[in-house]
Structure 1
Amino acid sequence: MSTVHTAAVVGLGTAGTELARRLSGAGIRVIGVEPDAEAAARALRAVASGPVEVTSRVAAVAAADLVLEAVPEPEAAKRAVLTALAGHRRADVPIVTTALSTPVAALADAAPGPLLALRFARADRLDAAELARASDAPDEAVRRVVSTLAAGGVTTHEVPDRPGSLAPGLLLGFLNQAAWMCHDGYVEPEALETAVRLGCGWREGPLGVLAAIGHRTATDILRGLQQRLGERYAPAPLLAGPPVAVPPRPEPVTAAVPEVRTVAVLGSGTMATGIAEVFLRAGHRTLLVARTEEKVAEARAAVEFGLLRTGRATEEVTEALGRWSGHTEVAAVARADLVVEAVVEDLAVKRRIFGELGALCRPGTVLATTTSALSVTACAIASGRPRDVLGLHFFNPAAAMDLVELVRTEHTGESALAAARAVLAAAGKVAVECEDRTGFVVNALLFPYLNDALTALEDPRVRPALLDTVMKSVAGQPLGPTRLLDMVGADVALEVQRKLHENQNQNRGRPVPAPADLLRRLVDRGFLGRKSAGRGVRALLTEEERAGAT
């Protein structure tokens, strides 16, 4: 395998400068090609030390054992530079393009010879990247690129050649939809950042990640993906120019905050018992309504186990359970200050319950639904007292997750909102306020991303292990999408994605795809993930492969 002694980096913007810095730090002589004198000077300052020289002459690449092209994204610009490079590089020297929206196969005619593409999510964290090759690129060229980048501290993962690649395209789709949410005024920027950090486990919020990528870079890539993959990738306006200011919300009418002493929870499942535990921990009298005495007993045991699991002293647990009561009749909620409905995700069932709550509860009692994707407004109207109704979307496990999406409808009164804010703060939760729309903030972003990931898996060259690996290492995700889907449950993902697709009119004309075929197959065949004894995405694909081989 030939050793790279000299590498040419063409284009010394953020990505090119970082590549030059890493390669020169590994002792490789770097020739930087940059016609803009100011950009060249910035690059030299950033690299600071190491064997680097900068020139404006493209012909200088003739001295290189490896050429890396890092000019801005539009295909026309890439094609022009690659054509120029091909006229000067030695015949056996690989050219590596950073084109992301354009497949390397579509650029192969511009640079005959070994051509590969290096794809990454953000240049300021270039520890890992995806590598795709043109069909005629020899294995030796791939080995040369991989070993050279490894010397510079960049781990590469070979992936199929496709627009957006894997991790960068999936990440940018998520980020762009988040930017559209802010542009639409659906959620405030700070609330969006908080929701994704806490709800998805990100270190930074999506707007922070977009700023790190660069608005111009993101816009150029998204425009290319829009041309190849459709209108879903149309860049949000705040990326195309200065950030769009979100109009401030009107100052709330000053109102006394209703005191919440007693909280009632309807339901006995995992979410209901977790929410009951949250309010017991916060010192509230808490009652839970289940269908049967057996369910009540199971709910109490679950709450007690949750309290003990936190390491609380036996005396504290005993004291907390002294504020607990279980019931089988909905009428028990009549004495509550806050009622939290946490029953099955069926709108007809929820509407019936809210009709009962509207009649049972005294005026001013706050009525909340924990739905993750259904209409809060429909529940509010069914209650007959919509000013008292809002959404409190807890995340699972409710006792451990800090985030709660506080969903207001056009009818929700300030008194109910104030009470909800106060009770969540007292319970140590972080409330992110948003309007009533399918999926709210986190799920409206997360489930289309998971759906896109499953669509990528329909390519037999993309395996779940590869997809999860690149999403973690290249896109910086805390968990790969197939593992995350198995945790959430394919049935939940299918239902939420179906509702997002059915209600895509809420998306201001931007399309929301129907559930992926693979997602439907997972549910139809009972491969739901963790809830089906571990039968999830990998198991189904393995079974289908075996069936296809026989």
Structure 2
Amino acid sequence: MTSAPAPATESAAPPVPGTTVGVVGLGTMGAGIAEVFARHGYAVVGVEQGEEPLARGRQHLEHSTGRAVQRGKITEAEAQEILGRITTTTSMADLAEASLVVEAVGESMDLKKRVFRELDGIVGPDAVLATNTSSLSVTDLSAATARPGRVVGMHFFNPAPVQDLVEVVRTVVTEGAVLERVRALVEGLGKSAVVCGDKAGFIANTLLFGYLNHAVSMYEARYASREDIDAAMRYGCGYPMGPLALLDLIGLDTAYEILETMYRQGRDRLHAPAPILKQMVTAGLLGRKTGRGFYTYEAPDSPVVVADDRTPSADQRPALRREIRLVGVVGTGTMASGIVEVFAKAGYDVLYTGRSQDKVDGVVATIARSFDKQIQRGRATEDQKAEVLGRVRGTTSLEDLADVDLVVEAIAEDLAIKSTLFRNLDEICKPGAILATTTSSLPIISMAAVTERPQDVIGMHFFNPATVMKLVEVVSTVSTDEEVTETVLAVCDRVGKTAVSCGDRAGFIVNALLFPYLNDAVKMLEAHYADADDIDTAMKLGCALPMGPFELLDVVGNDVSLAIQRELYLEFREPGFAPAPLLEHLVTAGYLGRKTGRGFRDHRRR
């Protein structure tokens, strides 16, 4: 909770261009913040502790504005005008006239407290003191001053001149007028302000680093390779970077410190840094800045990944260990129709089955409509449409699948129904045929166990829509034959998909990383820490995700999300994976998301 907003007063108005803003610390982050204010007409006083760091700070500013000129963002005259608004000094006393001071020194509580104590005796009584900390307690920092109600967090994201997000962090004693003043100031800078409470990690880092830490644990357990974990999240969720590559960019030492701070404050075991993180930091494997982290780079600070002893060689590319000519698909829904189209486009003959002739005919109609759209956009021709439809044949009899080499099941996500189907397929399909399921969360070994050929059963988790999404999770059980896994990986390559390999446990790679993150977002909302709009904005702008967690939950369906989260909790018995009560309540109320018109948001009014 925050204190009640103060009555509107003259001092509550945001600073206006021309007034003085102070920035303490002119490293990469501080220099960027100074540039942002100067770009918007503020007089900026930048403070560093000595002449050498002061010179580096000025260099940061000159390089940044120089890049903006080169890219045509500003003119040379504008760059000089921006730099002319920034005064640099080694004396904190020069901040006496500042109406706002932003601290951007090293992420050390003792150092920041010393800065705040000194500032407290220099600036005027109406000045606001802000910290750019990404994880330390703003409340603790405010307590070091005689004006705790006028202390806030202003967490800019790096690089500050480019990134649109600023997290405005309130403490339990922040004055309401000060909070509104800072929010208005941030929006006046052309940034998106999100308001949140004072908790380690705030919004973006709390949700991001829990997810990153989980990915490290997955890698540490050798559940999947670094390449497959990263590819899964890029192609399965549309993330700009995979989690391990992102950690290398952030710096493993920085990640470790943020997680440590989050864990010390919240005691959430999911924020306890994975042991391998500490080992890598101790060994100096900090990511891009040292040239080696989860990946190896051609030089320190280089983004170019080079091969190392963990890089798969070209000789390891999967090959067809079993002949695949005729592919069977069981099901006629959206996913099944997409899978039929994917295989047929790749040149495979496809035989699919449905419960009625109407449903069987519906698959051909769906594929024809899909091609019509592609033809309109110039991405396909009528001849290609005819060729693909000529490879497709439907039937209402499972018995017709007797000669398929690979059968892909894409029916209802119900273990009992799927298990019955696998018993039937086991009796019908020829020896050596591969039986695959598209389940996204059910245990594949349970389906394999009802057959007399568990070595031939595997998961092929396509993502929806199958014709568009590049990813397929190839999931092997403890019984799956290695030649079956290799064959399915090779088939995925032949149909133009990016296949990632993992073991048979709840959530596989993508859902095991995605849904705990979504669940954490629901818990954050449930705790009134921030509202859904601010949380979504923080994750889209702060982490460059294609959708915020609540947008995504309403698209996926809260019932689907709850079912997957329950599966994860039952499998791993991790208290942090327990479904958020708010999610359960929404499902009970029938607020399932877009499909019912109401979920975390009311879609009926849109």
User: Structure 1 length as normaliser, TM-score?
Assistant: 0.88
2:106, 2:184 → 1: CA distance?
25
Query: Which residue of structure 2 lines up, in the alignment, with residue 342 of structure 1?
Result: 410
Superposition deviation, residue 13 in structure 1 = 3.6
Q: In the alignment, which of 569, 578, 599 is matched to residue 514 of structure 1?
A: 578
Query: Which amino acid in the other structure matches residue 29 of structure 2?
Result: A
2:590, 2:335 → 1: CA distance?
22
Greater CA deviation, 299-308 or 449-458? Answer: 299-308
2:318, 2:460 → 1: CA distance?
22
Whether 1:21 aligns to 2:40 is: no
- Unpaired runs of 5+ residues, structure 2, are 1-12, 63-79, 286-292, 296-308
Superposition deviation, residue 308 in structure 1 = 2.8
The answer as to whether partners of 2:319 and 2:487 remain within 8 angstroms in 1 is no
Greater CA deviation, 246-255 or 479-488? Answer: 246-255
SS in 1 for 2:526: coil
Query: Which amino acid in the other structure matches residue 185 of structure 1?
Result: R
Query: Which amino acid in the other structure matches residue 17 of structure 1?
Result: A
Superposition deviation, residue 391 in structure 1 = 1.2
**Pairs within 5 Å for 1:156-305:** 156-229=193-266, 230-240=268-278, 241=281, 242=285, 243=293, 257-305=321-369
1:387, 1:73 → 2: CA distance?
53
**Pairs within 5 Å for 1:318-397:** 318-397=386-465
1:376, 1:514 → 2: CA distance?
22
Superposition deviation, residue 278 in structure 1 = 1.1
The C-alpha deviation readout for 1:162-187, integer Å capped at 9, x for no partner, is: 44322332122222222322232222
Instruction: Report how many residues are paired.
Output: 537
The answer as to whether partners of 1:75 and 1:99 remain within 8 angstroms in 2 is no
The C-alpha deviation readout for 1:399-422, integer Å capped at 9, x for no partner, is: 111111122233333322232222
1:180, 1:84 → 2: CA distance?
42
Relative to structure 1, is the Cα distance of residues 376 and 329 closer, same or farther in structure 2, using a 3 angstrom cutoff?
A: same
Query: Which residue of structure 2 lines up, in the alignment, with residue 43 of structure 1?
Result: 57
The C-alpha deviation readout for 1:9-42, integer Å capped at 9, x for no partner, is: 2233432232123234445443333447765443
1:198, 1:434 → 2: CA distance?
15
Query: Which amino acid in the other structure matches residue 257 of structure 1?
Result: R
Relative to structure 1, is the Cα distance of residues 278 and 28 closer, same or farther in structure 2, using a 3 angstrom cutoff?
A: same
Greater CA deviation, 229-238 or 391-400? Answer: 229-238
SS in 2 for 1:286: strand
1:511, 1:248 → 2: CA distance?
35
Superposition deviation, residue 267 in structure 1 = 1.7
**Pairs within 5 Å for 1:111-122:** 111-113=145-147, 114-120=150-156, 122=158
Query: Which amino acid in the other structure matches residue 119 of structure 1?
Result: H
Query: Which amino acid in the other structure matches residue 23 of structure 1?
Result: F
The answer as to whether partners of 2:441 and 2:507 remain within 8 angstroms in 1 is yes
Q: In the alignment, which of 463, 467, 471 is matched to residue 399 of structure 1?
A: 467
- Unpaired runs of 5+ residues, structure 1, are 543-550
Whether 1:308 aligns to 2:372 is: yes
What RMSD, in angstroms, separates the aligned Cα atoms of the two structures?
3.0
The C-alpha deviation readout for 1:287-306, integer Å capped at 9, x for no partner, is: 11222333323333323323
The answer as to whether partners of 1:104 and 1:161 remain within 8 angstroms in 2 is yes
**Pairs within 5 Å for 1:462-541:** 462-504=530-572, 511-532=575-596, 534-539=597-602
Query: Which residue of structure 2 lines up, in the alignment, with residue 548 of structure 1?
Result: none
SS in 2 for 1:503: helix
Query: Which residue of structure 2 lines up, in the alignment, with residue 454 of structure 1?
Result: 522
Query: Which residue of structure 2 lines up, in the alignment, with residue 547 of structure 1?
Result: none
The answer as to whether partners of 1:121 and 1:167 remain within 8 angstroms in 2 is no
Relative to structure 1, is the Cα distance of residues 189 and 55 closer, same or farther in structure 2, using a 3 angstrom cutoff?
A: farther
The answer as to whether partners of 1:238 and 1:244 remain within 8 angstroms in 2 is no
1:315, 1:92 → 2: CA distance?
74
Superposition deviation, residue 231 in structure 1 = 1.2
Query: Which amino acid in the other structure matches residue 235 of structure 1?
Result: P
Query: Which residue of structure 2 lines up, in the alignment, with residue 545 of structure 1?
Result: none
SS in 2 for 1:452: helix
1:511, 1:135 → 2: CA distance?
28
Relative to structure 1, is the Cα distance of residues 437 and 309 closer, same or farther in structure 2, using a 3 angstrom cutoff?
A: same
Relative to structure 1, is the Cα distance of residues 388 and 41 closer, same or farther in structure 2, using a 3 angstrom cutoff?
A: farther
Query: Which amino acid in the other structure matches residue 367 of structure 2?
Result: V
Superposition deviation, residue 482 in structure 1 = 1.5
The answer as to whether partners of 2:434 and 2:456 remain within 8 angstroms in 1 is yes
Relative to structure 1, is the Cα distance of residues 258 and 37 closer, same or farther in structure 2, using a 3 angstrom cutoff?
A: farther
2:96, 2:243 → 1: CA distance?
41
The answer as to whether partners of 2:23 and 2:101 remain within 8 angstroms in 1 is yes
The answer as to whether partners of 2:539 and 2:545 remain within 8 angstroms in 1 is yes
1:150, 1:244 → 2: CA distance?
37
The answer as to whether partners of 1:338 and 1:367 remain within 8 angstroms in 2 is yes
Superposition deviation, residue 511 in structure 1 = 4.7
Identity %: 39
Query: Which residue of structure 1 lines up, in the alignment, with residue 301 of structure 2?
Result: none
Query: Which residue of structure 2 lines up, in the alignment, with residue 414 of structure 1?
Result: 482
Whether 1:101 aligns to 2:169 is: no
Whether 1:6 aligns to 2:69 is: no
SS in 2 for 1:457: helix
2:49, 2:207 → 1: CA distance?
33
The answer as to whether partners of 2:211 and 2:514 remain within 8 angstroms in 1 is yes
1:98, 1:333 → 2: CA distance?
63
SS in 1 for 2:245: helix
Query: Which amino acid in the other structure matches residue 582 of structure 2?
Result: L
Superposition deviation, residue 514 in structure 1 = 0.7
2:430, 2:50 → 1: CA distance?
71
The answer as to whether partners of 1:371 and 1:391 remain within 8 angstroms in 2 is yes
Superposition deviation, residue 490 in structure 1 = 0.9
1:33, 1:182 → 2: CA distance?
42
The answer as to whether partners of 1:74 and 1:220 remain within 8 angstroms in 2 is no
Q: Which runs of 4+ in 1 moved over 6 A?
A: 248-255
1:27, 1:535 → 2: CA distance?
44
The answer as to whether partners of 2:594 and 2:603 remain within 8 angstroms in 1 is no
Query: Which residue of structure 1 lines up, in the alignment, with residue 69 of structure 2?
Result: none
1:39, 1:392 → 2: CA distance?
55
**Pairs within 5 Å for 1:119-130:** 119-120=155-156, 122-123=158-159, 125-130=162-167
1:70, 1:465 → 2: CA distance?
27
The answer as to whether partners of 2:244 and 2:294 remain within 8 angstroms in 1 is no
Superposition deviation, residue 95 in structure 1 = 0.8
User: Structure 2 length as normaliser, TM-score?
Assistant: 0.80
Query: Which residue of structure 2 lines up, in the alignment, with residue 546 of structure 1?
Result: none
Relative to structure 1, is the Cα distance of residues 139 and 537 closer, same or farther in structure 2, using a 3 angstrom cutoff?
A: closer
Query: Which residue of structure 2 lines up, in the alignment, with residue 30 of structure 1?
Result: 44
The answer as to whether partners of 1:74 and 1:224 remain within 8 angstroms in 2 is no
Query: Which residue of structure 1 lines up, in the alignment, with residue 513 of structure 2?
Result: 445
The answer as to whether partners of 1:121 and 1:168 remain within 8 angstroms in 2 is no
Greater CA deviation, 339-348 or 61-70? Answer: 61-70
Superposition deviation, residue 528 in structure 1 = 1.2
Greater CA deviation, 237-246 or 199-208? Answer: 237-246
Relative to structure 1, is the Cα distance of residues 123 and 379 closer, same or farther in structure 2, using a 3 angstrom cutoff?
A: farther
The C-alpha deviation readout for 1:100-141, integer Å capped at 9, x for no partner, is: 434533433122321111235544653211212345544554
Superposition deviation, residue 60 in structure 1 = 4.4
SS in 2 for 1:537: coil
The answer as to whether partners of 1:73 and 1:220 remain within 8 angstroms in 2 is no
